[in-house]
Chains A and B, each alone.
Chain A
Amino acid sequence: MTIPTGNTRAGSAEGTRPEDNEDRTATMLPSAEPVQLIDADGTHRHSDKYPLPDGDALKAAFEGLVSGRRINDQANALVRQGRLAVYPSSHGQEACQVAAAAVLAEGDWLFPTYRDTVAVVHRGVDPLQVLTLLKGDWHAGYDPYEHNVAPQATPLATQLLHAVGVAHAAKLRGENTVVLAMCGDGATSEGDFHEALNFAAVFHVPVVFFVQNNEYAISVPLKNQSVAPSLAHKAIGYGMPGERVDGNDAAALLAVLGAAVERAREGGGPALVEAHTYRMQAHTNADDATRYRSDDDVAKWVPRDPLTRLRTYLTSLGMLDDEAEDAMKAAAETVAARIREGLNTDVVPEPMDLFNYVYDSRTPQLSEQAALLADELSRAQD
C-alpha cells in the first residue's frame, strides 16, 4: 500500500474548506427548528433544503422501524427472564437507529454505542452476535471488519476519536470511506467529544457525528449538561456545519444524515447532526426512571412515536396496507424468535479463551496463569 502524497490539512490547497470566510458561519449554523419532513400527524412538511426521500426508501425505513421496535421489546422481555444481563433500549429512538445504518454504503464505517443495538443489526450484523455483550458471554460478539461496525462503545465519546482515526486512515489510503459516529447528549460533555470534533475538522476527514439527544443521561436532564442554544450549535466552534433534526421523523433523518454523508464523501469534511428524540424507557432495566421524571413527561412523547407517523404517511399515500405491515411484522417476529431461541440456549464460554486474545501470543506470565486455570479445570472434572 502506498499513501498518496498530499496535504492532510483542512486549510491546504487540497482541502475544500472555503478559503474566503465571507459567510462560513451562516453555512455552519443549524436550522432554526429541527428539520421535519413528516410531522407527528403523518403529514409531509415541505423543506427548501431537504427533499423528501422516495417512497421505497421510506417503506424500507418503516420495515426497519417495525423490526427495530420488535428487537427492543424482545430484548427487554429477555432481561426480565434473566436471559440478558442488561439492555439499554432504543425504544422510541428507532428512527435514528434505522437511518444511521441506512445512509451508509457498504465500505463505510459505523461507530455505535451500547444503546445502538438496533442500528448495528440494521447494518447487517447478526443480532445474536450483537447481544453477546449484553448476555455476558464475551465483550464484542461480532467481527468489526465483517460489516465495518466498531464494537459498541461503553466509555462515552471515546469511540468518536476512533471514528476520526478510521476516516483519517481512509483518507491517507485514498479510500472513499465515510464514517458515521454515534453518541448521546450526555456524551457531548466529555472531553473526547470536543477532541474528536476538533481533530475531524482540522484534518478535514469524512466523519458524520450523530448525536441522539434523548434528553437524559441516565437521570440527568439535558439542561444540566449544556446551555448551548442546541447541541448542533457546537459544530460552528469547530468550523464544521451543524444541523438538527426531528429524531422521531425517519424521513427527515434519512434526508439530513444522507446529505451529511454525501457531503463528507465528496470531500466536504465532517458535520454534526443532532436528533431530537426521547428515551421512552429507563436507562436500563437496572434504572428507576420514576425517581427523576414523571409519567406525564413520557406521555407527551407517545403521540410523536416514529412508527405511528410513518405508518400514517405511507398509508395515506397507498404505499402501505395492513397486509404489507403484517408481512413486515411476521419478518420481525422471525428475528425475535431467533433471538429468543439463541438466548435461551446456554452457551458455556470457553474459560481458556481468557488468555487467548490479550496479546497476539501469550506472554510467559500468561502461559503460567493459563496452565494454572487448565489444571483447576482438569481437577474439577475428576
Chain B
Amino acid sequence: MTVTAQAPAPEDTRVSLTFAKALNTALADEMAADSTVVMFGEDVGPLGGVFRITDGLTERFGEERCFDTPLAESGIMGMAVGMAMNGIRPVVEMQFDAFAYPAFEQVVSHVAKMSNRTRGKVKLPLVIRIPYAGGIGGVEHHCDSSESYYAHTPGLTVLAPATVADAYTMLREAIRFPDPVVFLEPKKLYWTKEDVDLAALRAPFEDSAPFEDSAPEAEAAIGRAVVAREGTDATLIAYGPSVSTALSAAEAAAAEGRSLEVIDVRSIVPFDDETVCASVRKTGRAVVISEAPGFASVASEIVARVQERCFHSLGAPVLRVTGFDIPYPAPKLEHFFLPGVDRILDTVDELQWEDK
C-alpha cells in the first residue's frame, strides 16, 4: 500500500493527482463503500471546503451525508462523539489548525478517553481532519503545527501523510480505524501533483475491511514509517510538510557526495520505532526535522527514542531542525522560521564527521 512497495502498474491506470484530490477521492470512495460514513464541518457542504477537500460530496451523497454545521468547533467535535456512539463514522473538518483549539476539551477529555473510561465498551471510530502547518503565506492563526498537543494525548492516533498516495491510503485507513484519528493534512502539499496508480491504491480496500478484527493489518500505513529515500551516511527523519524538504536536502547532499537516507514517519502515533531505528543503526547519524517549535515537541520525542535505542550505533548526538520556539511568524518572515534545505545541510555538517 505504500509508494515504494507498489508493483509496477500498467501505464493506463496511472493518473496525475493533487494531494487535495487524493483526499477528496478517498472520502468519496469511503462514503460510497460505507453508508455510515458522514462528513461535516464548516463550509464543507456546497462550497466543498475552503481547500475543496469535500468538493462534490454533498452533491453526490446528499446533505445528510456531507453537511455544514453552525460555526462552532467544540459543537462539531462533541456532536461527532455522540454520532460515533450511535453507529455513525463521522469525519469532521477543523477548517484550520488553530481553529481546532475550541474543540480541545472535547478531543482531550472525551474523544481520547471514551474507550478507556468505558473499558472498551464505547469505541469512537471518528476522524478529525485538520489542514495544518505553514509554508503557504497564511495570516496568523492559520499555520500552526499542533501535532504535539495531540501526540501527547493518550488515546489518539495521529497521522501526517506526506505523499499523494499516502493521502489517499491513510485517509481511507483512518476512516476504517476503530479508534479516533487526528489526520493532519499539510496545507502546503494540497496542490502538489504526483502520478499515482489509483486502481492499485483502491485495490486493498475493495473486498477487505481492514482493522475489523481489531488488529491493524501487517501492510497498513498506520503505525508504519517508510524509507522515502535510501542512503548510507546519515538519516533524516521527517513527517508531513517536512518530508519533501528533507528529500530536497538529501538530493543536494548527494551532489556533494554525502548519502542521506530519508524516513517518512507518516504515523506519529503509533510510532514506528523499528523502521526509524533500523535506519539510524545503519547510518549511525540522524537529524530530526519538523516545522513545530522544537521545545517539548514530537521531534524531541523522536530524538529521545532514537538515542535510547541506538546509542551504541551513533557516531554523533541526534540533532534537530525545527521551528523556533516562537509563535508562527507573519508571511514575510516565515521562510526564516521553517526548516529549509540549507539549515538541514548545515545541521548534517554538525554530526561530528571527524574528531575535533
Contacts and interface: CB of A to CB of B under 8 A. Distances in A.
B115 A3 contact: no
B83 A165 contact: yes
Interface stretch (B116-124, B187-195, B200-208, B251-259): B116-124
B87 interface: yes
A222 B177 CA distance: 44
B81 A165 contact: yes
B36 A3 contact: yes
Contacts of A365: 270-271, 273
B62 A5 contact: yes
Interface stretch (A84-92, A276-284, A287-295, A352-360): A352-360
25 contacts: A2-B35, A139-B117, A140-B121, A143-B118, A143-B121, A151-B117, A151-B118, A161-B75, A162-B81, A162-B82, A165-B80, A165-B90, A169-B86, A170-B86, A172-B64, A192-B75, A192-B105, A192-B106, A195-B75, A202-B70, A353-B119, A357-B118, A359-B179, A361-B214, A364-B271
Interface in B88-114: 88, 90, 102, 105-106, 109-110, 113-114
B216 A165 contact: no
Interface string B54-78: 0000000011110101101011011
A161 B115 contact: no
Contact of A3 (B35, B122, B179): B35
A3 B65 contact: yes
B62 A172 contact: no
Most buried by A among B77, B123, B269: B77
Interface string A1-15: 111011111000000
A244 to B, nearest CB: 25
B41 interface: no
A356 B120 contact: yes
B70 A161 contact: no
A158 B119 CA distance: 20
Interface residues of A, number: 48
Given A9-B63, A172-B64, A358-B155, 16 more contacts: A155-B105, A155-B110, A158-B78, A161-B74, A161-B106, A162-B82, A162-B85, A163-B82, A168-B83, A172-B83, A195-B78, A199-B70, A199-B75, A202-B69, A357-B119, A363-B223
Contacts of B90: 165
A260 to B, nearest CB: 19
A214 to B, nearest CB: 23
Closest 8 CB pairs of A and B: A165-B82, A161-B78, A195-B75, A139-B117, A363-B270, A169-B86, A162-B82, A360-B178
Interface string A106-145: 0000000000000000000000000000000011100111
B327 interface: no
B171 interface: no
Contacts of A140: 117-119, 121
A150 B78 CA distance: 13
Nearest to A367: B270
A111 to B, nearest CB: 9
Contact of B86 (A2, A139, A165): A165
B311 to A, nearest CB: 17
Given A165-B81, A358-B154, A158 B105 contact: yes
Most buried by A among B85, B214, B216: B85
B321 interface: no
B242 interface: no
A264 interface: no
B85 A360 contact: no
A166 interface: yes
Contacts of A7: 63-64
A55 interface: no
Contacts of A257: none
B155 A359 contact: yes
A196 interface: yes
A195 B71 CA distance: 9
Contacts of B273: 364-365
A173 interface: yes
A160 B72 CA distance: 14
Most buried by A among B86, B116, B119, B270: B86
B15 interface: no
Nearest to B115: A357
B79 A164 contact: yes
Most buried by B among A3, A150, A155, A198: A3
A198 B72 contact: yes
Most buried by A among B78, B102, B271, B274: B78
A195 B35 contact: no
Contacts of B123: 360
Contacts of A356: 119-120
B72 A195 contact: yes
A2 B77 CA distance: 23
Interface in A53-108: none
B215 A361 contact: yes
A51 interface: no
B84 to A, nearest CB: 7
B247 interface: no
B79 A8 contact: no
B262 interface: no
A191 interface: yes
Most buried by B among A6, A158, A161: A161
A198 B223 contact: no
Most buried by B among A6, A138, A145, A162: A162
B318 interface: no
A167 interface: yes
Contacts of A2: 35
A201 to B, nearest CB: 9
Interface in B124-169: 154-155, 157
Nearest to A173: B87
A162 B78 contact: yes
Contacts of A363: 223, 269-271
Interface string A203-232: 000000000000000000000000000000
B117 to A, nearest CB: 4
B270 A199 contact: no
Contact of A169 (B62, B82, B109): B82
Nearest to B75: A195
A354 B185 CA distance: 31
